[in-house]
Structure 1
Amino acid sequence: MDKLLLRLVSLFYPVLAKTGVDTQQLDEILRVKILMDNRRPKAMFAVRKGAKNDGKQSPWLVSFVTLLMGFFIGLLLTLNQKPYVGETYYFLVFMVLMALTLISDFTTVLIDTRDQFILLPRPVSDRTIAVSRILHISIYVLRLALIQGFPALIIVGFVDGIFAVPLFFFQILEATFLSIFLVNVIYLLLMKSVSPQRFKDVISYFQIAFSVMIFAAYYLLPRLINVSVLGNVDLLSHWWAYLLPPVWIAALNESLIHASHANYITRILAIIGFTLPFAGLWFVAKVLAPGFNRRLAIIATSDGNSNAGTEVKKAGKFSLISKLANFLAPDPIENAGFRITWKLAARIREFKMKVYPAFAYVPIYFLYFALNGKGDSLIDRWNKLQNGHNYVFLIYLCTFILSSILMNISMSEKYKSAWVYYALPVDKPGKILSGMYKAIITLYFLPYCLVLSIGIVIIWGPQAINDIILAFLVSLIYGILMALFMVKGLPFSKPVIVKQGGGKMITSLLILAFIGAIGFGHYFLMRWEMAVWIAIIPALLINWLMFRYYKRQTWDNIEMTEI
């Protein structure tokens, strides 16, 4: 399979040779990278390290899931009576999934600097290195694309006849290369136009936004759109549709298999789709690749904070963080825990990438459950939601954010810096933990709940204020329970764990079930306004008592990490 993919990629060598790429060096670099490729764990389908397969995912599992996904996507080919429209739908979803794979698995490969120690001392040009990285990515994505496109090859044989199968195979290659080059051209343009640190931030936020978009599309689109209606939608009746790359790819089938239906615009689009991968590779090698090694070196040495200079200038000023820390955490040790958690949680890119998507998942989950209904129109379901009391569950869903933050707050790639906790004369680490808990509530949870609360009050009215307060306090009880039983480490002091143990999973589910039961009890209590106001008092008392207990945690309750 690897040899076949190398031969497919070698079709671009004549174009690359004219741009100054050393194709012999390129071929050797690709061969070595392919040998190492199977040793690198992927973000998708990863399993727990330390298992029998030592962190490697089963290729059979990946292939089965990819084939199954390809089958369901292939059904889009039968959705519309016009093959041109059906293929446009198919390649639209196909290219989005390819782009998601590139962003989730191979962003780090493009800007990886580890092989520079081997390649930089040797006479390898910027063009050769940049193109080798893109083609290395292409080989991996091609492997997935061919597996994912296999069911569609069979389906298109029934839809358009046997002669459309080899053409569709070429269209899959075309869509894959277009996805690769469009994503990588954006990355390389960003590397040229923004600072290295800003580039890392932009890529991180782009990954977060893209994952949220896919999540929202998966859960909300089936509720908001009747899929059967797509069969009657003529997408190509809109002029902007011809600007979409999937339309260019589908135009090739329309021009060759259904030539009687194709006009001159369709043929022009087919030519554009055929030539764009070659033109894109030439553009990368000729325009964007020069200076690639220098920019990689700058990225490798810019591991600091993007606003480090600003922080240095403001070091002597009494900032907002200092005011909040002194007010909320007057104890010196607790104050230190508050400050270090606030600053690291706001700066560490890996932590933000794990936590930030949860902020978007909460309203998506709420709308998914709230608009879930059969027989009613979307407007009727919204009116029913607005006249009901389901808004209280929106605040309780925020515990998902709190859980995500707490499960990641003690983990860091650079956990060895946590030696400072153990070197200082701290008798009660619970003070550091209490400062940590106050910081994450103040930095993330409270502002987010305030934003949601304003929206709830605007939509459902002021009578929801007491429910918001009670739900918020119960959510804080959930947070302290999670912190007591699940978070056994100091802030950013433990190595990243891929999968938690079964005991902790059961504990987490029990805590979630307990809070869920309280939430449903709150829902039935809402018919008595005064009862909700009265329930706020014991909720406040329980929070105060539990937090005092949490603050008294000793070193025996902390999971120590070897530094």
Structure 2
Amino acid sequence: MDKIFLRLIRWFDPVMAGAGVNIHQLNEILRIKLLMDNRRPRNLFSTRRGAANASKKVTNPWLVTFFTMLMGLFIGMLLFFNDMPLTGHTYYFTVFMVLMCFTLVSDFTTVLIDTRDQFILLPRPVDDRTIAVSRILHITIYVLRLALIQGLPGIIMVAFADKNVLAAPLMLVEILEATFLCILIVNLIYLAMMRSVNPQKFKDLISYFQIGFTILIFAVYYLLPRLIDKSALAGMDLLSHWWAYILPPVWIAALNHVLVHPSQTNIIISLLAILGFVSPLAGLWFVVKVLAPGFNKKLAVLATSDSNDTTAAVKKIYKQDFRDKVANFIAPDPIENAGFRITWKLAARTREFKMKAYPSFGFVPIMFLYITLSGRGASIADKFNRIQSGQNYFIVLYLSTIVLSSMLTYISQSEKYKASWVYYALPIDQPGKILSGMYKAIISLYYLPFYFILGTGVVLVWGPQVINDVILAFLLCMMYGVLIALFSVKGLPFSKPVMAKQGGGRAVTNLVTMSLIGVLGYAHYMLRHWETTIWISIIPMLILTWVMLYYYRRQTWESIELSEV
């Protein structure tokens, strides 16, 4: 497959040579990169062989192929969703391109801005255009493999949807167009950002862009089917709306309409088909001519930005003072104070922790709307009115534990976990104080501000009479968090390898603690009519939470070592 892709790329040699790319260097760089890829395990559907070999992954390629083709089968059903071929193909390529862009953002950002090969290529006479294009084509080859597997069911199904065998090979061309467009759109955004912002901000923007895109995909998957009228989509005529003409999926679908259904084609559809065919080539030319110059210099600065960004250090002076005051107030014990500060600092600076934990902030409102908007026989307006008139605020309050459990799960994991030797080298008799400081840092830095915003929204929507429910739910969620920390998360901050294997006993413990919050939430819901009882219940719950946190603070080295078995 690699040789076939390399030969296909040679077809574009005249275009790239005319733009200033060194063709011989480009092909040699691609050949070496593909050879290295074949020796490197994949992240998707990979497993780890225990905590001792946490850096070694084993990938099942057949499992990857099966799930990719299964996803392609579900997407292919959109080809039959509308009687108009142009609309059905547009629906198909909209979902197809969104999934491709999500794959690029989640898996290939590091490939584009990887600075490691600069140590080999930078001292040699390889210009900016050649390196930038080699990285884009490297990503293109890998994504094309995934796109062809995912598009294979659609290639077969389109012959039945269009009742024309010639639609199948044409579908292959459309899939190639869609893949190239996705790659160019994502890379255009990234390269433009590299030219317009400083390296440190670029890294932060990339992280938040990935987090936002993850939340967007989650929202589209769960909420879009609840918010759209499927009968209206089935009979929609896209070309009757002006905004359809600026959508890339419409450009790609127009090619099928022109060649397979020529009797229904007009001059506008023909121009859209030409635009879909020309735009990838035009985008590649724009990248090479406008964005690629200076690419090496930007990467070199990016590699040293963390250590040389003195401006960021100056801006953190006020934050450091504020953090000191909060830490001294919440965690007065010196060891607990140290656990609080190291958790706060590392959580705020570690991008891998942000990438895993931050999406949970968006999952909570999305899951709330998904649960409350489920059901048939009512319009969207009626469903929103029903939300406000009922007691659905209990759902959103207790769904906030998704954020708490996510933070506690990932706070003890790190790719650089070997640096945690410092915990064991210090003369600390009670590591539970570090754990207590870690828990307080998670609550004060993440959960409390998020719950305050959530609780304020609940009070504004359902009225001030639910304030006692908001306070009691917060204390019950705090108790749930302490139970998770006690039985499931005994690792010190950023001290465990990522995805360490869990035993069957740990899985049962996690299931029991997860079901507990449902029981507590249901008991709270049953007490909703007795306002005085809820106010009185706040005091014993506050005392119980303090007692549980005190017990958690007394954890020993033996209990931590046993939890890792």
TM-score, structure 2 length as denominator?
0.94
Q: For the residues of structure 2 that align with 1:316 and 1:145, how far apart are their CA atoms? A: 48
Aligned with 2:451 (options 429, 433, 449)? 449
Alignment of 1:480-559 (within 5 A): 480-497=482-499, 499-559=501-561
Structure 2 residues without counterparts, runs of 5 or longer: none
Deviation at 1:313, TM superposition (A): 6.0
What per-residue deviation string (whole Å, max 9, x for no partner) do you get for residues 126-159 of structure 1? 2221111111111111111111111111222123
Q: Which amino acid letter does the alignment assign opposite residue 15 of structure 1? A: V
Identify the residue that residue 38 of structure 1 maps to in structure 2.
Answer: 38
Q: For the residues of structure 1 that align with 2:7 and 2:333, how far apart are their CA atoms? A: 66
Q: For the residues of structure 2 that align with 1:560 and 1:22, how far apart are their CA atoms? A: 58
Deviation at 1:472, TM superposition (A): 0.7
What per-residue deviation string (whole Å, max 9, x for no partner) do you get for residues 471-511 of structure 1? 11011111111111122222222332355333322211111
Identify the residue that residue 124 of structure 2 maps to in structure 1.
Answer: 122
Q: Which amino acid letter does the alignment assign opposite residue 13 of structure 2? A: Y
Aligned with 1:287 (options 287, 290, 297)? 290
Q: For the residues of structure 1 that align with 2:271 and 2:319, how far apart are their CA atoms? A: 62
What per-residue deviation string (whole Å, max 9, x for no partner) do you get for residues 151-203 of structure 1? 11122212331122222211111111111111111111111111111111111
Does 49-58 or 531-540 show the bigger shift? 49-58
Alignment of 1:242-253 (within 5 A): 242-253=245-256
Identify the residue that residue 14 of structure 2 maps to in structure 1.
Answer: 14
Identify the residue that residue 2 of structure 1 maps to in structure 2.
Answer: 2
Relative distance call for 1:19 and 1:499 in structure 2 (3 A) is farther
Identify the residue that residue 377 of structure 2 maps to in structure 1.
Answer: 375
Q: For the residues of structure 1 that align with 2:562 and 2:16, how far apart are their CA atoms? A: 54
- Partners of 2:432 and 2:554 within 8 A in 1: yes
- Partners of 1:22 and 1:128 within 8 A in 2: yes
- Partners of 1:305 and 1:347 within 8 A in 2: no
What per-residue deviation string (whole Å, max 9, x for no partner) do you get for residues 253-294 of structure 1? 222222332222222222121111112112222222222222
Deviation at 1:559, TM superposition (A): 4.0
Deviation at 1:3, TM superposition (A): 2.2
Does 351-360 or 391-400 show the bigger shift? 391-400
Relative distance call for 1:433 and 1:54 in structure 2 (3 A) is closer
Deviation at 1:101, TM superposition (A): 1.0
Q: Which amino acid letter does the alignment assign opposite residue 72 of structure 2? A: G
Q: For the residues of structure 1 that align with 2:198 and 2:118, how far apart are their CA atoms? A: 20
Q: For the residues of structure 2 that align with 1:327 and 1:478, how far apart are their CA atoms? A: 24
What per-residue deviation string (whole Å, max 9, x for no partner) do you get for residues 316-369 of structure 1? 898222221121112222222222211221221111111110011011111111
Relative distance call for 1:124 and 1:58 in structure 2 (3 A) is same
Aligned with 1:217 (options 213, 216, 220)? 220
What per-residue deviation string (whole Å, max 9, x for no partner) do you get for residues 207-252 of structure 1? 1111111111111112222334311122221112111111111122
Identify the residue that residue 306 of structure 2 maps to in structure 1.
Answer: 303
Q: Which amino acid letter does the alignment assign opposite residue 134 of structure 1? A: I
Structure 2 SS opposite 1:113? coil
Q: For the residues of structure 1 that align with 2:49 and 2:491, how far apart are their CA atoms? A: 20
Aligned Cα root-mean-square deviation (Å): 2.3
Alignment of 1:448-467 (within 5 A): 448-467=450-469
Q: For the residues of structure 2 that align with 1:39 and 1:234, how far apart are their CA atoms? A: 48
Relative distance call for 1:438 and 1:231 in structure 2 (3 A) is same
- Partners of 1:412 and 1:496 within 8 A in 2: yes
Identify the residue that residue 166 of structure 2 maps to in structure 1.
Answer: 163
Structure 1 SS opposite 2:16? helix
- Partners of 2:435 and 2:490 within 8 A in 1: no
Q: For the residues of structure 2 that align with 1:376 and 1:305, how far apart are their CA atoms? A: 58
Does 78-87 or 113-122 show the bigger shift? 113-122
- Partners of 1:252 and 1:270 within 8 A in 2: yes
Q: For the residues of structure 1 that align with 2:415 and 2:300, how far apart are their CA atoms? A: 21
Aligned with 1:172 (options 167, 172, 175)? 175
Q: For the residues of structure 1 that align with 2:205 and 2:563, how far apart are their CA atoms? A: 33
Structure 2 SS opposite 1:47? strand
Structure 1 residues without counterparts, runs of 5 or longer: none
Q: For the residues of structure 2 that align with 1:313 and 1:285, how far apart are their CA atoms? A: 36
Identify the residue that residue 277 of structure 2 maps to in structure 1.
Answer: 274
Q: For the residues of structure 2 that align with 1:379 and 1:140, how far apart are their CA atoms? A: 44
Q: For the residues of structure 1 that align with 2:42 and 2:402, how far apart are their CA atoms? A: 25
- Partners of 1:488 and 1:558 within 8 A in 2: yes
Q: For the residues of structure 2 that align with 1:500 and 1:34, how far apart are their CA atoms? A: 34
Structure 2 SS opposite 1:56? strand
Identify the residue that residue 243 of structure 2 maps to in structure 1.
Answer: 240
Relative distance call for 1:92 and 1:499 in structure 2 (3 A) is farther
Q: For the residues of structure 2 that align with 1:100 and 1:317, how far apart are their CA atoms? A: 34
Q: For the residues of structure 2 that align with 1:189 and 1:312, how far apart are their CA atoms? A: 27
Identify the residue that residue 337 of structure 1 maps to in structure 2.
Answer: 339
Structure 1 SS opposite 2:491? coil
Q: Which amino acid letter does the alignment assign opposite residue 198 of structure 1? A: K
- Partners of 1:401 and 1:445 within 8 A in 2: yes
Q: Which amino acid letter does the alignment assign opposite residue 26 of structure 2? A: L
Deviation at 1:67, TM superposition (A): 1.1
Q: For the residues of structure 1 that align with 2:208 and 2:379, how far apart are their CA atoms? A: 35
Q: Which amino acid letter does the alignment assign opposite residue 14 of structure 1? A: P
Q: Which amino acid letter does the alignment assign opposite residue 513 of structure 2? A: I
Aligned with 2:393 (options 375, 391, 394)? 391
Structure 2 SS opposite 1:497? coil
Q: For the residues of structure 2 that align with 1:180 and 1:11, how far apart are their CA atoms? A: 18
Relative distance call for 1:506 and 1:369 in structure 2 (3 A) is same
Structure 2 SS opposite 1:48? strand
Aligned length: 561
- Partners of 2:223 and 2:370 within 8 A in 1: yes
Relative distance call for 1:460 and 1:20 in structure 2 (3 A) is same
- Partners of 2:431 and 2:557 within 8 A in 1: yes
Does 420-429 or 510-519 show the bigger shift? 420-429
Does 425-434 or 192-201 show the bigger shift? 425-434
Relative distance call for 1:316 and 1:277 in structure 2 (3 A) is closer
Q: For the residues of structure 2 that align with 1:560 and 1:349, how far apart are their CA atoms? A: 29
Q: For the residues of structure 2 that align with 1:314 and 1:360, how far apart are their CA atoms? A: 27
Identity of paired residues, percent? 63
Deviation at 1:314, TM superposition (A): 5.6
Q: Which amino acid letter does the alignment assign opposite residue 32 of structure 2? A: V
Identify the residue that residue 84 of structure 1 maps to in structure 2.
Answer: 86
What per-residue deviation string (whole Å, max 9, x for no partner) do you get for residues 374-430 of structure 1? 223323332322222121121111111111111111222333433433333322222
Structure 2 SS opposite 1:55? strand
Identify the residue that residue 58 of structure 1 maps to in structure 2.
Answer: 60
Structure 2 SS opposite 1:493? coil
Identify the residue that residue 25 of structure 1 maps to in structure 2.
Answer: 25
Structure 2 SS opposite 1:95? helix
Deviation at 1:305, TM superposition (A): 9.3
Does 440-449 or 256-265 show the bigger shift? 256-265
Q: Which amino acid letter does the alignment assign opposite residue 431 of structure 2? A: P
Q: For the residues of structure 2 that align with 1:132 and 1:154, how far apart are their CA atoms? A: 32
Asked whether 1:184 is paired with 2:187, we answer yes
Q: For the residues of structure 2 that align with 1:291 and 1:501, how far apart are their CA atoms? A: 50
Q: For the residues of structure 2 that align with 1:475 and 1:52, how far apart are their CA atoms? A: 32
